[in-house]
Amino acid sequence: MLIDGYDDAPLVAGEELLSLPGYWAAYLMWLCETEDDEPDPAWFGADEADADAAYEGLANQERWPVFRIPFSEGHSAVVLARNLADDAGTEYLVTHPSWDRLGHLATLDGHQAGPGLSWRELIHIARTTELAAPGVHDPSARLLLLLPALGDSDLPTDAADVLRGALTWAGAPETETHRLIDALLLDHPYWKPAGWSLPPTSPLSGGEEGFAGILCCDEPGSPRCGTRIAQGISRDQSDRLARSLGTWPPT
């Protein structure tokens, strides 16, 4: 599997890892660590051996798993485990066959960049799959895969219930979902919840060429701190991306 910019990397489709009983513990447990709480795989309905086995697959330096999340108009969100021995991290990207370069949402490593998604975008992507494209199609799996890129200070009232449903689907015991929701929605270890807004101008009023309609993040450390998710895309490509993210036309 090739992704522009990773031509020499040992990328492999990672979707088969999702079926491992300890996968969600291995993938999300680090997000739940606080000064007061040491996360436990049991919070996700897994045991330590299962979580360790799944983590070995996620962190394999010879096979970097890539999770493809196809959404509307040919776009795909991509979660890529960059398993370099001295520079490991996770990349959250957006791709389209017509683009010359990747779009960057967030990076989780020693030099993190984020947040990369608003709640509105996260939910829209999770629920608008393209079944004909390869990748992850279950809405709950899509939501949980992209959840580490979230950072939003204006969560809707139903956000906790939506996340509870996804965690229950993933096997988390009902008794643990409250603890998980608080950690996963409100206490990100890398960044604080951010504000998201449309640019002050729109395509109808002569906005910035190619990028109106895409949300901006007010966190300076985010790749989304401007309207340019992807460099070098045309106005038409940007408009299609805005529609696909569910942010244009505004509601």
Task: Give the pLDDT confidence score for residue 248 in this predicted structure.
Answer: 84
Beta strand pairing call for 76-82 and 64-70 = antiparallel
Considering the entire predicted model, what is its pTM?
0.94
How far is Cα 37 from Cα 43, in angstroms, rounded to an integer?
Answer: 12
Task: Return the pLDDT at 211.
Answer: 55
Long-range pairs for 217-222: beta carbons < 8 A, 24 or more residues apart: 217/115, 217/118, 217/151, 218/194, 219/114, 219/115, 219/151, 219/191, 219/192, 219/194, 221/112, 221/113, 221/114, 221/191, 222/106, 222/113, 222/114, 222/115, 222/116, 222/151, 222/191, 222/194
**Residue 207, pLDDT score:** 45
Q: Domain residues of the chain, as ranges?
A: 11-244
Please give the Cα distance from 116 to 168 (Å, whole number): 25
Q: What does the pLDDT profile of the chain (251 residues) look like in tens digits?
A: 678 788 899 999 999 999 999 999 999 999 998 777 789 999 999 999 999 999 999 999 999 999 999 999 999 999 999 999 999 999 999 999 999 989 999 999 989 999 999 999 999 999 999 999 999 999 999 999 999 999 999 999 999 999 999 999 999 999 999 999 988 998 899 999 999 998 875 444 444 443 568 999 999 999 999 767 888 888 899 889 999 999 888 76
CA of 86: how far to CAs of 78, 106, 131, in Å? 22, 19, 37
118 vs 153: CA distance, rounded Å: 9
pLDDT for residue 205: 44
Give the pLDDT of residue 206.
Answer: 46
Count of Cβ atoms closer than 10 Å to residue 102 Cβ? 20
CA 251 – CA 240 distance, rounded (Å): 16
**Nearest Cα to Cα of residue 248 among 159, 142, 124:** 124
Cα 163 to Cα 173: distance, rounded to the nearest angstrom:
13
Radius of gyration of the chain (CA): 18
H helix and E strand count, the chain: 7, 7
CA distance 20 to 54: 6
